[in-house]
Structure 1
Amino acid sequence: MPSERLWSLTPVEQRLDSWARRRLEALHGQGRVRGFLLEFAVFTVKQAWACVFGAAMLVLLVTTHLWYPEAAALSRSDALVIGAVAIQALMLLLRLESGRELWVIVLFHLVGTVMEIFKTSVGSWHYGGDGLLWIAGVPLYTGFMYAAVGSYMVRVFRLFDLHFDRYPARWATALLGAAVYANFFGHHYVFDARWVLLAVIVVLYARCTMQFRIHRARPWRRMPILAAFTGVAFFIWIAENIATAAGAWIYPNQADGWELVSLSKLVSWFLLMIISVVLVTFVYRPRPLADTAEVVRGPGHELSR
């Protein structure tokens, strides 16, 4: 029987899931290489859909950077806020997102905005331009960029029916997430504990594996959860480069002209993954697969039932 999460797919995601089923049924008798490529293509399409909120935000940032008129009565930053609110409203009205998940996304928004206010006050980065929809030197569209991460996290849980073996106790992950968040503030005044926190993360999650499936009729596949965290952090770093090139915010080393965001930021995004996962697990409780479920690591790597 499909899990509860699969039954909670939005209407668009149900159609996407049906599309995946039809494509993956074509795997039969098509050969291992062709089958792998088709499955990877379906995986990519579902990942792209999981990123729809973030992709819409990036399109908004880039298009307003390239074509928004400087003489407009409404400032670009205020237009970005209105555009971000419109995207969120459309996703709810078109039932692309559930009300249950909206609470997590709002929490991401608040957590991110608080951190933005602090980080800009200490000069970690800054925002150009002006507008009315600002708070303490931070344009309100910034919270939606954090909300985009939350949107991806909750969506990917549904689309790939995620389960976890040997997931750490949630109270332990909650304490770790709180420590990570506190370090984003505290390292400006006391010892920077990011490397200690990274070590704790490795110890806590080292034995945890994530199970997923491209479609409910397909076999389960698995990967170390730390690898998943790293992959997501890398793609957020890519999005960050696009956003800074579009003038969404500016790091001190970009004041005289845009340059690639330092790879050291990958550590920050990796740590953000912990906060993200902790928040999402209070909507989707991490559950292991049933003992009878078939799990495969990947092509040519079968595991026992």
Structure 2
Amino acid sequence: MRGLKQLVHFGWEQALSCLFPVVIFASLALTKFIPLPFFPRYDWLLLICLLMQWWMVRSGLETRDELKVITLFHLIGLALELFKTQMGSWSYPEEGYFKFFGVPLYSGFMYASVASYLCQAWRRLRVDLIKWPPFLIVVPLASAIYLNFFTHHYWIDVRWWLSGLVIVVFWRSWVTYEVDGSRYRMPVALSFVLIGFFIWVAENIATFFGAWEYPNQTDAWSLVHVGKVSSWLLLVIVSFLIVATLKQVKGRIPTE
């Protein structure tokens, strides 16, 4: 019974940490089936995301430091979106006033929502890191993973080499977290895989509601290729490393 109680408590904390992503998914569903007046759908989504972000900071659910992290993710995600849409990886076929080179500005909030989840979960579950690699290893690794999203269009795709390097670098690293007064731990690499898988599940939901469109979904919706899990896994690793590094710089976590 205690194990079940802990699982329910853990699930509740996770649900609270996912508040921003839940609002995005609910907005995608609402605007998909109920046309809203005055503005195109993409612009309504941008307005909803802006209001949600303002409310989370105003209500104290997010701190100003967390807002800075989320803004950084918004810019990183928007840069990736601009490049990928130009390369034809996916598209945003609907109209919108606030579109920049074919990319609606609300799209950056989908990346920001991942950062919101990480920051919220980190604080709610009192996350700590054990045997975290040095700064001079983590930052170049995160940079190489992010750059590969761009360079693989012109050069070889080294994602699997980078994935292997992640396993080597974080082989002895653990993440610890607290659930109702009890501490638990799991390998950092496993946490990457779990978060990446659930984001892939969320991606299928998002494309079903028309958040964006892959080339094979132009005529009819179909399941996002399972190979995309590797892409999300690497993106989660970048996200986690940025959040962890910034918190380390702020002196909030030990290095060992």
TM-score interval (norm. to shorter): over 0.9
Equivalent residue number for residue 292 of structure 1: none
Equivalent residue number for residue 100 of structure 1: 65
Could you tell me how far apart the structure 1 residues matched to 2:45 and 2:127 are?
Answer: 33
The 5 Å alignment of 1:1-305 reads 34-69=1-36, 72-215=37-180, 218-285=181-248, 286-287=253-254
Could you tell me how far apart the structure 2 residues matched to 1:162 and 1:84 are?
Answer: 27
Could you tell me how far apart the structure 1 residues matched to 2:46 and 2:135 are?
Answer: 34
CA positional deviation for 1:66: 1.1
Could you tell me how far apart the structure 2 residues matched to 1:58 and 1:205 are?
Answer: 32
Alpha-carbon contact 1:50-1:151 (below 8 Å) kept: yes
Aligned length: 252
Amino acid at match of 1:278: L
Amino acid at match of 2:70: I
SS in 2 for 1:281: helix
Aligned sequence identity (%): 38
Q: CA RMSD in A?
A: 1.2
Alpha-carbon contact 1:105-1:150 (below 8 Å) kept: yes
Which segments of 5 or more consecutive residues in structure 1 lack a partner in the other structure? 1-33, 290-305
Deviation string, structure 1 residues 171-212 (Cα, Å, up to 9, x no partner): 211101100111000000001110110010010011111111
User: CA separation of 1:101/1:156 partners in 2, compared to 1, >3 Å: closer, same or farther?
Assistant: same
Equivalent residue number for residue 299 of structure 1: none
CA positional deviation for 1:95: 1.2
Which segments of 5 or more consecutive residues in structure 2 lack a partner in the other structure? none
Which runs of at least 4 in structure 1 moved beyond 4 Å after TM superposition? Answer: none
- Greater share of helix: 2
Alpha-carbon contact 2:196-2:229 (below 8 Å) kept: yes
Amino acid at match of 1:170: F
SS in 2 for 1:213: strand
CA positional deviation for 1:276: 0.4
Amino acid at match of 1:83: I
TM-score (norm 2): 0.96
Could you tell me how far apart the structure 1 residues matched to 2:27 and 2:237 are?
Answer: 27
Alpha-carbon contact 2:70-2:116 (below 8 Å) kept: yes
Alpha-carbon contact 1:166-1:288 (below 8 Å) kept: yes
Deviation string, structure 1 residues 27-77 (Cα, Å, up to 9, x no partner): xxxxxxx110001000000001111111111111111111124xx331111
Structure of higher CA gyration radius: 1
